[in-house]
Amino acid sequence: MKKTISGIFNDKDVEQLVGQMLRYGVITASIVAFVGGVIYLLHFGQAPIPNYHDFKGEGAGYTTFSGIFKGALAFNATEVIQLGVLVLIATPILRIAMSLVAFAVEKDKLYVFITLIVLCVIMTSIFGGLKV
């Protein structure tokens, strides 16, 4: 495949951007989870372990955007941790969104289309009422 010089430069730019985005996402998620974890241990450290042997499933406070944000704003330890979890899950998704912009700048229509399909699949699984 022939590559023009500008093509190579563009590709490298995209790669740098994607790499940085992934790193900052993971670092942010770990810091948030760490802060939440410290608060959690300060508050509940001496309490006995919750029963993880039987699966009950988490309540709305931990499973919905609004629940997590509300709790995290109130500085509730567990919701702050869940916020870190959200940031972590969002990192690869944002990476795709970023690639979409990059491919659009490169005027690579085929890959704008391919990237859109991947984004659609993920958005369907977020908003498509896959909750069972």
Partner 1 sequence: MTILTFSIILLLGSYLAGLLGSLTGLGGGVVVIPLLTLVFGVDIRYAIGAALLASIATSSGSASAYVKEGITNIRLGMFLEIATTIGAVIGALIAVYTPTNTIAILFGAVLIFSAAMTLRKKNQEALTEGSKLSYLLKLNSSYPTKDGEVAYKLKNVGAGFSMMTVAGIISGLLGIGSGALKVLAMDTAMRIPFKVSTTTSNFMIGVTAAASAVVYLQRGYMDPGLAFPVILGVLGGAFTGSKLLTRMNPQVLRYIFCAAITFVALQMIYNGVQHKF
Query: Does residue 74 belong to the site contacting partner 1 (CB under 8 A)?
Result: no
Nearer CB in complex with partner 1: 105/124? 124
Show contacts with partner 1 in window 30-69 (CB under 8 A).
30, 33-34, 36-37, 40-41, 44-50, 52-59, 62-64
Q: In angstroms, what is the C-alpha Rg of the chain?
A: 20
Q: Contacts with partner 1: how many residues (CB under 8 A)?
A: 71
Amino acid found at 4: T
Query: Does residue 104 belong to the site contacting partner 1 (CB under 8 A)?
Result: no
Give the residue, chosen from 9, 12, 75, 105, that forms a contact with partner 1 under the rule CB under 8 A: 12
Query: Does residue 29 belong to the site contacting partner 1 (CB under 8 A)?
Result: yes
The distance of Cα 117 from the centroid of its chain, to the nearest Å, equals: 18
Own/partner pairs, 92-97, CB within 8 angstroms, 24+ separation: 92/22, 92/25, 93/119, 93/122, 94/21, 94/25, 95/18, 95/21, 95/22, 95/25, 96/122
Amino acid found at 86: L
Q: How far is the CB of 44 from partner 1 (least distance, A)?
A: 5
How far apart (Å, rounded) are the C-alpha atoms in residues 100 and 94? 10
Q: How far is the CB of 70 from partner 1 (least distance, A)?
A: 15
Query: Does residue 5 belong to the site contacting partner 1 (CB under 8 A)?
Result: no
Query: Does residue 1 belong to the site contacting partner 1 (CB under 8 A)?
Result: yes
